[in-house]
Structure 1
Amino acid sequence: MTQTRSVAATRVAEPAQRLLASLLVLVTALGLAGMARGEETIIKSHGYSFYGDLTYPADFDHFAYVNPEAPKGGEISFAALGTFDSMNPYAVKGRAGRLATMMYESLLTESADTYDEGYGLLAESVEYDEGKNWVIFHMRPEAKFSDGTPVTAHDVKFSHELLLEQGLPSYRAGVSKRMKSVEVIDDHTIKFTFVEGISRRSLIDQVGGVPVWSKKWYEETGARLDESRLETSPGSGPYMIESVNVNRRIVYKRNPDYWGWKLPINKGRFNFDRIRVEYFGDDTVAFEAFKAGDYTFRVESDSKKWASNYNFPKITDGQVIRTELPDGTPPTATGIVFNLRRDVMKDKRLREAVALAYNFEWTNESLQYGLFKQRTSFSENTPIMATGAPEGAELDFLKSLGDLVPPEMLTEPARMPHTSSPERLSDRRNLRSAMKLLDEAGWPVGSDGKRRNAKGELLKLNFLFDKSNEGTLSGVMENFVANLEAMGITATLEKVDSAQYTLRERENDYDLIFDFYRPFLGTGTGLAQMYGTPADGGDSLFNPAGLASPLIDRIIDASLQATSVEEERATLMALDRALRHEFIMIPVWYKPNYWVAYYDQYEHPDPLPPFDLGYLDFWWFDQAKAEALRAAGALR
């Protein structure tokens, strides 16, 4: 299930929310068995993938990237910025604490070295017809919640219906129209039947990925999924809450009675006894706390800090490790997002003019120490990134969409960001181009240097910004706004606290916002939730631009109907091209590696899997190193 968005320049996805990505390559099929039931082919397996291939066989011992002998114990801690007032991440109201989903499991789970494959977690096997009209999950009878009660098919059905009744509106709208029925066959067997005449994509994997909650707890407490609350239902996962101190700290502890420790999918994972989240008002304070030893693991996103501030004594003494680790996921599609719901933002000429105020080259050299690359695509550095003019299968597909496709999309190269001079913040060539575009859009400049329309109304733009992101990011955006003002635009960078930011973001109360879209490597109904027009005429929390494009909708629909990897790749390449043509955001920067610093008491597999840093998942604690750090006074 998709979670509420959070804003960061580059933020590592948490295990329950991570985005798995890989090359669109099929692997050797292992562990699947088909058998005929009359004329119908029934597939039984230990997991599920849409094309029927799984990397790991039914009798696999552990995921290839873990250390199955990793010791259990110790603590890992990291910082979170801003505030929280809830431990319910499934509600629109409130700001949920970090890792608030980690107590809950689903029928299927993912690995960090494969794409679009699910392996049995609460379910020991999955059974479905070849046409994917229905699926039956056979659950593990030993599974139980942290309060000792069993996890049953009744809990699965309850959780599914609770999401449809009280979940996020965009989720309800997307899932309810695809589900025909949910049937509990017995305490540990559940069947989902899907609506006829729709794509078979994101059906089995969607229901297999729904978090499972305790029906008993919800019925006894009367709690609702759509309410902000600190109380949590018992989960079935390896961690449970130890303590919550609002706006200060959250501590999770490993459940010694966790039912699934011996499962192959869990070997070498969930190794820390405690996971501690320390909250700070801004990153400057958080960084000083890291140096002091108040928390022990830091994923850095601020280029200035990474380039110049990691020279304190604990680094030089070897007590803190500073390193770059490879990141195989496509970079998050981060940037300055236009709110297309606002009339002023509907004119593409105005958006293009505003974009010219962003100078990546000067920003990267002057403020970011030349450490970043400019992002161009929603699937950067992947086989489905659109490059050049369309050709082959992609061109044929775009032509099949008829008049929905602008003629220039068929002949011109995919849209690329503008270039700027690295020598000065204000690129005069770009400034002149922006001025001309604004004039053409009906916003001429007056004698006072301000731009107004024919009604005499000022061209005002409000840029909403979370002030917990102070630092280099704030400086970059201040310079961007300064360039807007030089164009005659009345622009305001409104810095608000995290609680206000979350509320304003959800109410779409902004003209510009520094936000992100999730990149994609495969198709699924989540694409419609992020990039598509809401079916109910409402809005999606995962679409900050408010994009509503018939072309994008058609491309997503076509991708869901793809029957081969090649066909799917062509539609997704077209989607990347079309999204860039729609121009919903100003792309900023990305880095190919994780910037990581941590106290020298942790170990990790080498090599790491391509699609997750996994420091809360498959890293482990070295007791002897930890004792040496404490003896030296490096940790508090």
Structure 2
Amino acid sequence: MARPILLLLILLALPALRPACAEVPEHGAPTHGIAMNAGVTHGIAMHGDLALPPDFTAFPYVDPAARKGGTIRQAVTGSFDSLHPHIVKGVPALGLGHVFETLLTRSWDEPFSLYGLLADRVEVAGDRSAVTFRINANARWHDGTPVTAADVLFSLEMQRRHGTPNRRLFYAKVAAAEAPDPQTVRFAFASNADGTIDREMPLLMGLMPIHSKAFWEGRDFNRTTLEPIMGSGPYRIATVDPGRRIVYERVRDYWGRDLPTRLGQFNADRLEFDYYRDDSVALEAFKAGQGDVRYESDPAKWATGYDGPARRDGRIVREELPNRRPEPARGLIFNTRRPIFADLRVRRALGMATDFDWIGRSLFHGLLTRTASYYPNSDLAARGLPEGEELRALEPFRDRLPPELFIRPFTLPDGGTGSGPAGLRANRREALRLLEQAGWRVRDGRLTDAAGNRFAFEILLSDPSEERVALEFTRSLEPLGIDARVRTVDSAQFQGRLDRLEFDMTMRWWASSLSPGNEQLYYYGSEAAGQEGSRNLAGIRDPVVDALARSIAVATTRAELIGRVRALDRVLLWGHYMVPLFHSPVDRIARRSTLHRPVNTPLYGPMLESWWVAP
């Protein structure tokens, strides 16, 4: 599936392009940096110190002199039925993150650090039990009215009542919210059950999407809508063809264009997203000149699909750009709410039956790496045996974890290449042994339980390009007597079934930043397992997972954080909640030669909002 560069994950919406401009702001003088109270730095870092000084003028991965103007077009797959990205209902259009803003914004060259955006001052309590934001006096909605503390408090109320489950989970920790004056808002946080304070909460409040209270008067915040919603960001919606096309135009008098956190970004005058039902058609549209940039997630298309006149004469440029972020942990995810997948032995057995080495060579041209972590491609991934901070995090739960976890590194089954067909046959014999232990037997070529019920399930997909792997997986289960079927539905139906948790198995992913925190409970926590729209697709309900995921947000040092994330990673791996697939160690990007990028690539990989169009 085509997607905007850097599927981040993480954090609360799909990313897309963003442009800026350099004219003098209409409302007052530009504000550079964040002025802080004595003893408080000019931003918030989750751990350690901020990388940028108080007088920084721009992020190091942008070109402050980037050319303004032109159009950036993307040919994407799927559909959309809503322009409201901050509720559970509907499938929002790509690019809406450019319409809405937050109090603070991330530096993508640091694991988790925030600098000023709508807020130009921030004060954090020493124990992180409270945070105070001073709203920039220049901050304006697109109708020219000021952004106020009342808008921030309204946004918190709406997110707590109607936001996605992860936001409702986070913002429930706000014990008190007040506005001492129209430009100041203060949040105090409740203690955890053990008396600790969630150290991530000041940053999460800084990343809360802010909505206009006045705009929503007389409107229902909890309904999908195709009416453009007023924001304060660098773009507004220009035209919409529901499900097919959306166009954004740069806000000419954008209030924040000269902020150091905005300079050199949001450079195109227009952003256009054209939707296609099939990614192969989207690729052909790009090659034919109907798109300017494409993130290629399919190695087969990267290897063979871009040949043509435009590439040969230099109009299309292809690049493989390395990054140091965790890649999405993609896999065939078991819905453990289904009785047939409730037994760990069954889940482990199904992961042993497929020759993934052959799949990697044949379907992906050897360009992908088999995923063996929930945080692949990063130093957060568990490796070897637990030691140091990781072992300290695991030790209290030793009696509730499999003994092998402490004495044997987690490894994926040999898919067959390393030990030949005999190795794959041995894996399948072991899989049958595990299935028999779980109460399943092969009778007349069919795997059944004691009551004669056949082991059968459905794999739910939304992208036809995913069918190749899913079908190979189902074929590999036939020798075990398992009846697995693949069903591909449109994106709206797919998302609806995921939201309602109505599936047996699906091909999906979990994505994390270099500084995981509260979202880990949303991904893997017991409370999230029963929530509609939850990202705990696997239905994980494990007190050990809950405790480890909760401990990550209260880590006080980077070393402590890494150890706790590795501990969680190891426990999830030994839980066999998915059959891991593959990830790419680089970003593969094709672009028109007229689309240019800065010299520096940030820690998280290329950021399209810093690119520009030049003839």
Same fold (TM > 0.5): yes
Given the alignment, which residue of 198, 201, 207 partners 2:199? 201
Partners of 1:127 and 1:249 lie apart in 2 by 42
How far did 1:322 drift?
A: 1.7
Report the CA distance between 1:538 and its aligned residue. Answer: 3.6
Q: Tell whether 2:585 aligns with 1:618.
A: no
Alignment of 1:348-497 (within 5 A): 348-413=344-409, 415-422=410-417, 427-447=424-444, 449-466=445-462, 469-471=463-465, 473-497=466-490
Aligned partners of 1:537, 1:246: CA distance in 2, in Å?
31
C-alpha distance in 2 between matches for 1:355 and 1:433: 11
Local SS of the residue matching 2:84: coil
Match of residue 632 from structure 1: none
Structure 1 CA distance, aligned partners of 2:4 and 2:50?
34
CA distance in 2, matches of 1:385, 1:323: 26
Distance change in 2, residues 1:99/1:593 (3 Å): same
Are residues 440 and 115 of structure 1, via their aligned partners in 2, closer, same or farther at CA, if it must alter by over 3 Å?
same
Map residues 582-597 of structure 1 onto 2, 5 A cutoff: 582-597=575-590
Alpha-carbon contact 1:62-1:264 (below 8 Å) kept: yes
Query: SS of the counterpart of 2:283?
Result: helix
* Aligned pairs for 1:84-163 within 5 A: 84-163=80-159
CA change 1:348–1:536 in 2 (3 A) is closer
Q: Any residues of structure 2 matched to 1:183-332 within 5 Å, and which?
A: 183-196=178-191, 197-219=195-217, 221-224=218-221, 226-332=222-328
Partner amino acid, structure 1, of 2:188: T
* 2:138 is aligned with 1:167: no
Deviation at 1:88, TM superposition (A): 1.1
| Deviation of 1:314 (Å) | 0.9
What amino acid sits opposite 1:516 in the alignment? Answer: W
Percent identity of paired positions between Structure 1 and Structure 2: 35
| Cα shift at 1:33 | 6.8
Once the 2 structures are TM-superposed, how far is the Cα of residue 175 of structure 1 from its aligned partner?
A: 2.2
SS at match of 1:445: strand
**1:513 aligned residue:** 506
Contact between 2:234 and 2:266, CA under 8 Å: does it hold in 1?
yes
- 8 Å contact from structure 1 (residues 522, 572) kept in 2: no
Shift of 1:556: 2.0
Whether the 8 Å CA contact 2:14–2:94 is kept in 1: the answer is no
Does the 8 Å CA contact 2:61/2:600 hold for their aligned counterparts? yes
Residues in 1 aligned to 2:190 and 2:430: alpha-carbon distance in whole angstroms: 51
Paired letter, 2:200: S
CA-CA distance at 1:128 after TM superposition: 2.4
**Shift in CA distance, 34/105, structure 1 to aligned 2, threshold 3 Å:** closer
Q: CA deviation at 1:395?
A: 2.0
Q: Residue 364 of structure 2: SS of its match in structure 1? A: coil
- Superposition deviation, residue 402 in structure 1: 4.7
Alpha-carbon contact 1:361-1:420 (below 8 Å) kept: yes
Partner of 2:174: 179
In structure 2, distance between residues paired with 1:335 and 1:535:
20
Q: CA deviation at 1:17?
A: 4.1
In 2, distance between residues paired with 1:508 and 1:12? Answer: 23
What CA RMSD, in Å, does the superposition of the two structures yield over aligned residues? 2.4
CA distance in 1, matches of 2:3, 2:474: 19
Q: What's the secondary structure of 1:367's corresponding residue?
A: helix
Structure 2 matches for 1:330-349, cutoff 5 A? 330-349=326-345
Q: Partner amino acid for 2:198?
A: R
Name the CA distance, whole Å, in 2 between partners of 1:227 and 1:273. 30
**C-alpha displacement of 1:522:** 2.7
Which deviates more from structure 2 when the two are superposed, residues 289-298 or residues 260-269? 289-298
Whole-Å separation in 2 of the counterparts to 1:241 and 1:371: 38
Shift of residue 425, structure 1, vs aligned partner: 12
Moved more, 52-61 or 107-116: 52-61
Counterpart amino acid of residue 601 in structure 1: T
SS in 2 for 1:451: strand
**Separation in 2, partners of 1:363, 1:396:** 38
Work out the CA distance in 2 between the residues paired with 1:70 and 1:209: 26
Q: Counterpart of 1:3?
A: none
CA distance change for structure 1 residues 9 and 490 in 2, over 3 Å: closer, same or farther? farther
Q: Distance in 2 between matches of 1:264 and 1:538?
A: 39
Q: What's the secondary structure of 1:79's corresponding residue?
A: strand
Distance 1:584 1:405, change over 3 A: same
Unpaired runs of at least 5, structure 1: 1-5, 20-29, 36-42, 625-636
Counterparts of 2:459 and 2:162, CA distance in 1: 32
**Any gaps of 5 or more consecutive residues in structure 2?**
16-32
Distance 1:611 1:366 in 2: 29
Specify the SS of the correspondent of 1:44: coil
Q: Secondary structure at the match of 2:494?
A: helix
- 1:533 aligns with 526
The alignment of Structure 1 onto Structure 2 pairs a total of residues equal to 592
Distance (whole Å) between structure 2 residues aligned to residue 387 and residue 286 of structure 1: 39
Deviation, 1:32, is: 9.3
1:516 CA drift (Å): 0.7
Q: Are the aligned partners of 2:2 and 2:296 in contact in 1 as well (CA < 8 Å)?
A: no
Alpha carbons 2:75, 2:282 under 8 Å: kept: yes
User: What residue is the counterpart of 1:608 in the other structure?
Assistant: 601
